[in-house]
């Protein structure tokens, strides 16, 4: 099958799509297996992150003899750390490497991690800029862990609402 693409290494965002019927059918079949596997992977990463937070809370409870305070403190620390690592600091990198404003970088961060991905902003696509070799790899890891963190936050919010 044949793809319409201006830049092959980019994922999603409408700039890579199959142009034949066979290619489209392959994408549908691949998605039927790939989406559940991706959800399982994100869930496992999120559970590992949650396990780390719970372990730290348990240690704080043992050391300082705090009961409910340690759990609340660790959840707060995990939320603040995640906000910094996944939503508040990456826009600074995008401002430097992409030339976007902080607001555009923050918008890209949230839209990407929430899997909305409109495609109006895509990293590493400006032909007038030179990108470091590590840039797309680091962003890929950021997306993976950021999606897992955001899924945990959303799950936590759902639990609060229930």
Supply the CATH classification number for the domain 21-161. 1.10.287.70
Residue 46 has pLDDT above 50, yes or no: yes
Give mean pLDDT, residues 125-154: 92
Give mean pLDDT, residues 130-141: 95
Residue 8 has pLDDT above 50, yes or no: no
CA 112 to chain centre: 7
Distance CA 125, CA 123 (A): 6
Indicate the helix (H) or strand (E) that contains 16. Answer: strand 16-18
Residue 15: per-residue pLDDT: 63
For the chain, first and last CA: distance in Å?
47
Query: What is the model's pTM?
Result: 0.73
């Amino acid at each position: 099958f044949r793809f319409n693409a201006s830049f092959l290494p980019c994922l999603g965002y409408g700039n890579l799509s199959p142009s034949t019927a066979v290619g489209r059918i392959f994408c549908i079949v691949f998605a039927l297996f790939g989406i559940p596997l991706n959800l399982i992977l994100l869930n496992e990463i999120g559970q590992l992150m949650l396990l780390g937070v719970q372990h730290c809370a348990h240690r704080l409870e043992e050391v300082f003899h705090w009961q409910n305070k340690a759990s609340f403190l660790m959840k707060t620390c995990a939320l603040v750390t995640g906000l910094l690592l996944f939503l508040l600091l990456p826009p600074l990198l995008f401002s430097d490497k992409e030339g976007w404003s902080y607001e555009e970088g923050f918008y890209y961060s949230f839209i990407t991690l929430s899997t909305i991905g409109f495609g109006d902003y895509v990293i590493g696509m400006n032909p007038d800029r030179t990108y470091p070799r590590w840039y797309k790899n680091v962003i890929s890891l950021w997306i993976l862990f950021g999606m897992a963190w955001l899924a945990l936050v959303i799950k936590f919010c759902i639990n609060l609402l229930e």
